[in-house]
Amino acid sequence: MSKRDYYEILGVSKDASKDEIKKAYRKLAKKYHPDVSQEDNAEDKFKEAQEAWDVLGDDQKRQQYDQFGHAGPNQGGFGGFGGAEDFGGFGDIFDMFFGGGGRRRDPNAPRRGADLQYTMTLNFEEAIFGKETDVQIPKEEECETCDGSGAKPGTKPETCSHCQGAGQLNQEQNTPFGRVVNRRVCHYCEGTGQIIKDKCNTCGGAGRVTKRKNIHISIPAGIDEGQRIRVSGQGEPGENGGPTGDLYVVVQIRPHEFYKREGDHIFCEMPLTFTQAALGDEIEVPTVHGNVKLKIPSGTQNGKTFRLKEKGAPNVRGYGHGDQHVKIRVVTPTNMTDRQKELLREFHDISGNQPTEEQHDNIFQRVKRAFKGE
């Protein structure tokens, strides 16, 4: 299946400026982000927009895409040899013909920081009503001693004399295709393009230190098990001035001894005595929103479920409330007094040992039909 045109994906013209492309990408990323979009194919559209931005947002990649399209040397095309890396630098042949640069990464270019994940456990009511809280997480931050350079105060990193700051070393070799140039990460500077001779005593040359940081988290009402909260800009710091990553808070919810939850609906069981079920009653049912009265009609059977409208959990996206479903459990009396037993025997003698006609139709007829295979 052929790929869609990247300009078409972002909805911009081929002469669009970089700012216009960036604006179009951000709009699509916000619309189709899997954490917020309800569309079935949101994740695919998000990845498609991300792929388009990765190419059109980079001047060199965009130039090669405009010239070669999806089949360009840096778009994974010109296949048939198992990929450039698998063929001992076969991809570098195209660098010789087309000016290169597409596969090389500027070691000093801005790079986005990594995302972090934190698991938070809430009790049942906290997930229903939400809460404001602070969490303390370990995260890397820029070293204040060296301002992130990794060099001792008063000194600065020097350009690597082996790769001349490129972060890569070129190695020529003869192949059946002719002489090609293989590019490898410079092992002298580890691909950074810089050498730190006098390292910072605080961070040891890393330019970062790990600290525990308090971060405020807003838990929305109605959040459910396994859902994530994105806290923008609270991940690892970027490199070379790149943007900071995000923090994702994954929610776990402790089970409740009385309530069970499925989506926005809450379920519970209420015990009734034999007489309450037979004669009817009005009972009080606990809900997360407070106790409510529930009228039990006479002749209520064990397992009967009643619905309390909008007494469930609020929808996390703000679309109203779910319901609470109350299942009746008729409790058989135990440890009865002699008088209670006497009254039950009297009731038994009056009503006989057979179920009512209605019960007969509802239960025994279904059993007979099941035996007959109807």
- Arithmetic mean of pLDDT over the chain: 81
pLDDT of residue 237: 84
pLDDT average, residue stretch 359-365: 51
Record the tokens describing residue 153, joined without a space. 């105060």
pLDDT of residue 243: 87
Give the percent of the chain with pLDDT over 70: 81
pLDDT over threshold 90, residue 248 = yes
Which residue ranges make up the annotated binding site?
143, 146, 160, 163, 186, 189, 200, 203
Nearest to 196 by CA among 152, 147, 134: 152
pTM as predicted: 0.58
Which residue ranges make up the annotated binding site for Zn(2+)?
143, 146, 160, 163, 186, 189, 200, 203
What tens digit of pLDDT does each residue of 166-178 get? 888 887 766 655 6
Q: Which residue has the higher pLDDT, 364 or 249?
A: 249
pLDDT over threshold 50, residue 85 = no
What tens digit of pLDDT does each residue of 165-215 get? 888 888 776 665 566 777 788 888 878 888 888 889 989 888 888 888 899
Where is average pLDDT lowest: 103-107, 234-238, 347-351? 103-107
pLDDT of residue 74: 42
pLDDT average, residue stretch 111-130: 92
Where is average pLDDT lowest: 24-28, 282-286, 344-348, 368-372? 368-372
pLDDT over threshold 80, residue 121 = yes
Q: What's the rounded Cα separation, in Å, for the pair 206 and 199?
A: 8
pLDDT over threshold 50, residue 3 = yes
What tens digit of pLDDT does each residue of 128-144 get? 999 999 999 888 888 88
Contact 78, 94 (CB under 8 A): yes
Record the tokens describing residue 107, joined without a space. 């070691």
pLDDT average, residue stretch 42-48: 85
Where is average pLDDT lowest: 78-82, 335-339, 370-374? 78-82
Contact 67, 50 (CB under 8 A): no
pLDDT average, residue stretch 79-85: 35
pLDDT over threshold 80, residue 372 = no
- Tell me how far CA of residue 320 lies from CA of 29, 74, 127, 292, 294, in angstroms: 27, 49, 16, 19, 22
pLDDT over threshold 80, residue 368 = no
Q: What's the rounded Cα separation, in Å, for the pair 62 and 15?
A: 11
Q: What's the rounded Cα separation, in Å, for the pair 6 and 26?
A: 14
Q: What's the rounded Cα separation, in Å, for the pair 334 and 276?
A: 16
* 83 phi and psi angles, rounded to 5 deg: 95, 155
Q: What's the rounded Cα separation, in Å, for the pair 217 and 35?
A: 16
